[in-house]
Amino acid sequence: MDVREAGLARFGGKDDRRYPSPRTLRRVCAFAFDWLLHFGTAAAVVIFGKGVIPLAGAVALGAWLTTSFVNRVILQGVFHTTVGKALFGLCVIQPGDGLFPSYGRLTKVWFMTLYFSVMLPLALFGGDGPGPDNLSDYFLPAVRRRDLRVQTEFL
């Protein structure tokens, strides 16, 4: 049964007492670290590939996307955390049931984030594009790994 159907709060929400440890600063720092990892890979391609790699900018974009996909889908699928989240003791769960997300769910979230990255600047200049019905389905909550446990007492 989905949490929303049962009338319970979203798993991993700010007011969810099932995950009591503070995590806002940790999540911000983890996001910044992951973003710098993705950006750093692209920057390294541009810096070290200038004059060596034709179309270094396009290759850098590919490096950015590849690093992002590997970190946010493959590593997160295996370890339930990205490099940045691991450094700060966080892991991701699904908001509907509190379980770890599948590769399919992580891939959907990754593609939707890519879509949002393109659509947000367009929306700021008056453009409008289609989007998901429930935006919160594409922002997975990050919780402290030490707070994970069987959640049966709350269901």
- Say what percent of the chain tops pLDDT 90: 50
pLDDT, tens only, 90-139: 999 998 889 999 999 999 999 999 988 878 777 777 766 666 667 677 78
pTM exceeds cut of 0.95:
no
Do residues 109 and 101 make contact, with C-beta atoms less than 8 angstroms apart? yes
How far is the C-alpha of 112 from the C-alpha of 89, rounded, in Å?
25
Q: State the pLDDT at residue 120.
A: 75
Q: What Rg value do the Cα atoms of the chain yield, rounded?
A: 18
Domain ranges for the chain: 21-146
